[in-house]
C-alpha cells in the first residue's frame, strides 16, 4: 500500500479519537477544578456520576446546537463563552446561586461541555444526592414549566416566587412551549404550566402563596 493511502486510513482512525479525547478531557478538567475548590474549603469531593454526566452533556449539546442559553431545570448550572474549566468555575464561584451548587452537600455530580458552530464553549454541571435516581431527559426534566422571555420585566419576579414556593420547573420560551405542545399559540407571560393541565396555566407574577397553592393542586 502506498504512503498516500496509508495516510488517509490513519486520519480516519485518528479524527474520532481526537474528538472523544477533547470531550472527556474537558469533563476531567471540570471534575479536577471542582474537587480542588471543595477540598480547599474542607468539603468532601463529589463523586463523578455517569448518569449526571450524560444529562449534563446532552444539555450542553442542546444549547450549543441551538445557540440557546437557559437552564434545563433542577439542580443545574450553566456557563457560556469561557475558554477553559478554570475560568468557567471562577465565574460560577462569583455568583451566589451557582456557588451554592458547587459547594452543595449533594454527593453526585456530572459535567458536560460542547462547542457551537462559532467555536463558543458551553459548560454544564448537574448535581444529585447519592440516594436519588438520576432521571435522564434532554430538554424537559420537570413537570412544571415557566414560560418566560428576556424582554419580560415580570419574569425575574415570577421565577423568584415560584422557586420560593418550592416548585421545580423548567424554563422555556414561548416558541419552545409551542414546539413541546404545551402552548397552542403565543401567550401572555410569565405563565406557569403543569404538563397534565395546559389549559389552566397560572399567568402573571403572583405571590409565593399563590404559587404554592398552584403546585399543591397537582401534587394530590
Q: Which tens digit of pLDDT belongs to each residue from 122-178? A: 999 999 886 444 434 333 345 888 999 888 888 999 999 988 888 888 888 888 888
Residues 178, 9: Cα–Cα separation, whole Å: 46
Contact 146, 170 (CB under 8 A): yes
Say what the pLDDT of residue 169 is. Answer: 87
* pTM attached to this predicted model: 0.53
Of the candidates 54, 66, 35, the residue with the CA atom closest to the CA atom of residue 112: 54
Rg of the chain over all Cα atoms, to the nearest angstrom? 20
Say what the pLDDT of residue 22 is. Answer: 64
Cis peptide before 64 (omega within 30 of 0): no
Contact 202, 214 (CB under 8 A): yes
3-class SS string, the chain:
CCHHHHHHHHHHHHHHHHHHHHHHHHHHHHHHHHHHHHHHCCCCCCEECHHHHHHHHHHHHHHHHHCCCCCCCCCEEEEECCCCHHHHHHHHHHCHHHHHHHCCCCCEEEEEEEECCCCCEEEEEEEECCCCCCCCCCCCCCCEEEECCCCCCCHHHHHHHHHHCCCCEEEECHHHHHHCCCCCCCCCCCEEEECCCCCCCEECCCCHHHHHHHHHHCCC
Say what the pLDDT of residue 198 is. Answer: 84
Say what the pLDDT of residue 12 is. Answer: 31
Say what the pLDDT of residue 217 is. Answer: 83
Amino acid at each position: 500500500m502506498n504512503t498516500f493511502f496509508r495516510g488517509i486510513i490513519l486520519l480516519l482512525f485518528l479524527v474520532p479519537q481526537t474528538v472523544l479525547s477533547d470531550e472527556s478531557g474537558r469533563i476531567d478538567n471540570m471534575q479536577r477544578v471542582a474537587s480542588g475548590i471543595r477540598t480547599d474549603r474542607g468539603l468532601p469531593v463529589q463523586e463523578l456520576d455517569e448518569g449526571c454526566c450524560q444529562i449534563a452533556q446532552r444539555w450542553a449539546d442542546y444549547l450549543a446546537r441551538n445557540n440557546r442559553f437557559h437552564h434545563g431545570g433542577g439542580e443545574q448550572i450553566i456557563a457560556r463563552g469561557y475558554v477553559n474549566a478554570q475560568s468557567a468555575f471562577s465565574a460560577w464561584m462569583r455568583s451566589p446561586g451557582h456557588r451554592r451548587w458547587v459547594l452543595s452537600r449533594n454527593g453526585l455530580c456530572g459535567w458536560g461541555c460542547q462547542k457551537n458552530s462559532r467555536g463558543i464553549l458551553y459548560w454544564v454541571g448537574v448535581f444529585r444526592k447519592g440516594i436519588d435516581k438520576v432521571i435522564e431527559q434532554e430538554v424537559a426534566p420537570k413537570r412544571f414549566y415557566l414560560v418566560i422571555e428576556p424582554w419580560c420585566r415580570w419574569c425575574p419576579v415570577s421565577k423568584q416566587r415560584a422557586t420560593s414556593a418550592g416548585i421545580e420547573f423548567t424554563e422555556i420560551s414561548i416558541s419552545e412551549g409551542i414546539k413541546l405542545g404545551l402552548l397552542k399559540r403565543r401567550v401572555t407571560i410569565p405563565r406557569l404550566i403543569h404538563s397534565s393541565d395546559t389549559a389552566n396555566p397560572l399567568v402573571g407574577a403572583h405571590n409565593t402563596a399563590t404559587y404554592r397553592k398552584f403546585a399543591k393542586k397537582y401534587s394530590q
